[in-house]
């Protein structure tokens, strides 16, 4: 097994042998394995590209008689342009798949809530000049990657928000002005919510979501990017 592939896993399934003509559309679209499930993308003949959707987006050329490691729950796809023959083997540690699935199921609603709330703030930033859009969209993309591959793919391919994610993948930075605006808005928002007499649960939810967003923003590198 190559570097990055765990030694304490056992093979439990394998796909059929595919070619450039028979590769399923699911493989060429963004998808992921289940919690605790590792994959080995084996190329028998020819070559293909193994793409990790990210963020960050990475691309690896897999030649004949070599393989790529597919990590659990990582969004990926294959790109086939030339003649190729390949298959996928699936591995997991005994009992690990069920335990990981239970942990993921418990955390999924929290990640979905965080992603949805962050996207709401990001959408508000498209019409409110003082609300920064990028940090909230990035946080939403990360949260959806942990909870919903479908929503993550939708966001990454969105006409308005998708380019923000692509820009982040290129530069991996948030400039200081955007950081300052984002933090200021996140500090002021709960105060405004309290002043207008919103329910306590709304204020509590805002504080939780905005605290996560603030930690995400202030810990990003600074630069001329997103």
For 103-147, the pLDDT digits (tens) are 666 677 888 888 888 888 888 877 766 667 777 888 888 888 777
Domain-terminating residue out of 94, 112, 140? 94
Euclidean distance between CA atoms 219 and 221, whole angstroms: 7
Instruction: Please tell me whether residues 112 and 39 are part of one structural domain.
Output: no
Please choose, from the candidates 163, 76, 172, the residue with its C-alpha nearest in 3D space to the C-alpha of residue 122. Answer: 163
Beta bridge partners of 210: none
Please choose, from the candidates 218, 84, 193, 64, the residue with its C-alpha nearest in 3D space to the C-alpha of residue 138. Answer: 218
Helical spans, DSSP H, in 125-161: 134-147, 149-156
Count of domains observed in the chain: 2
> What pLDDT score was predicted for residue 2?
43
State pLDDT tens for residues 12-59: 999 999 999 999 999 999 898 887 888 999 999 999 999 988 666 888
pLDDT classification of 223: cutoffs 50, 70, 90 = low
Q: Where are the beta strands (DSSP E) in 110-214?
A: none
Instruction: Please tell me whether residues 110 and 190 are part of one structural domain.
Output: yes
In a domain? residue 72? yes
Instruction: Please tell me whether residues 89 and 130 are part of one structural domain.
Output: no
Instruction: Please tell me whether residues 180 and 108 are part of one structural domain.
Output: yes
Euclidean distance between CA atoms 8 and 4, whole angstroms: 12
Q: At what angle do helices 200-218 and 134-147 cross, to 10 degrees?
A: 100
Instruction: Please tell me whether residues 156 and 90 are part of one structural domain.
Output: no
Q: Is 100 helix (H, G, I), strand (E, B) or coil?
A: helix
Q: Are 88 and 40 in contact (CB under 8 A)?
A: yes
Instruction: Please tell me whether residues 211 and 118 are part of one structural domain.
Output: yes
In a domain? residue 1? no
Q: What is the mean pLDDT of the chain?
A: 81
Instruction: Please tell me whether residues 43 and 106 are part of one structural domain.
Output: no
Instruction: Please tell me whether residues 209 and 111 are part of one structural domain.
Output: yes
> What pLDDT score was predicted for residue 9?
83
Look at 18 and 211; give whichever has higher pLDDT: 18
Instruction: Please tell me whether residues 68 and 121 are part of one structural domain.
Output: no
In a domain? residue 224? no
Instruction: Please tell me whether residues 67 and 137 are part of one structural domain.
Output: no
In a domain? residue 127? yes
- Residue 44, φ and ψ in degrees, nearest 5: -85, -45
Q: Are 67 and 40 in contact (CB under 8 A)?
A: yes
Instruction: Please tell me whether residues 214 and 107 are part of one structural domain.
Output: yes
Structural domain including 206 reads 102-218
Domain-terminating residue out of 94, 117, 141? 94
Q: What is the mean pLDDT of residues 158-174?
A: 75
Domain-terminating residue out of 58, 75, 94? 94
In a domain? residue 3? no
Beta-carbon count within 10 A of 95 CB: 9
Query: What is the token pair recorded at 50?
Result: 């193994």
**Percentage helix, strand, coil for the chain under 3-state DSSP, each rounded to 5:** 45, 20, 35
CATH of residue 21: 2.60.120.10
Instruction: Please tell me whether residues 62 and 116 are part of one structural domain.
Output: no
């Amino acid at each position: 097994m190559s570097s990055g592939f765990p030694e304490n896993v056992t093979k439990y399934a394998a796909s059929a042998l595919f070619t450039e003509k028979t590769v399923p559309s699911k493989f060429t679209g963004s998808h992921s394995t289940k919690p605790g499930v590792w994959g080995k993308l084996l190329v028998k003949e020819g070559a293909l590209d193994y793409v990790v959707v990210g963020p960050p987006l990475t691309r690896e050329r897999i030649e004949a008689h070599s393989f790529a490691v597919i990590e659990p729950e990582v969004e990926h796809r294959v790109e086939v342009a030339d003649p190729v023959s390949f298959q996928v083997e699936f591995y997991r540690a005994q009992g690990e798949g069920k335990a990981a699935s239970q942990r993921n199921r418990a955390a999924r609603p929290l990640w979905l809530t965080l992603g949805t709330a962050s996207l709401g703030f990001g959408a508000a930033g498209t019409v409110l000049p003082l609300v920064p859009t990028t940090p909230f969209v990035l946080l939403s993309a990360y949260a959806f990657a942990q909870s919903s591959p479908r929503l993550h793919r939708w966001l990454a391919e969105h006409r308005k928000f998708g380019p923000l994610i692509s820009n982040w993948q290129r530069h991996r930075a948030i400039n200081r002005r955007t950081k300052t605006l984002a933090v200021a808005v996140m500090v002021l928002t709960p105060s405004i919510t309290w002043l207008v007499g919103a329910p306590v649960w709304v204020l509590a939810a805002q504080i939780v979501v905005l605290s996560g967003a603030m930690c995400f923003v202030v810990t990003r590198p600074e630069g001329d990017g997103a």
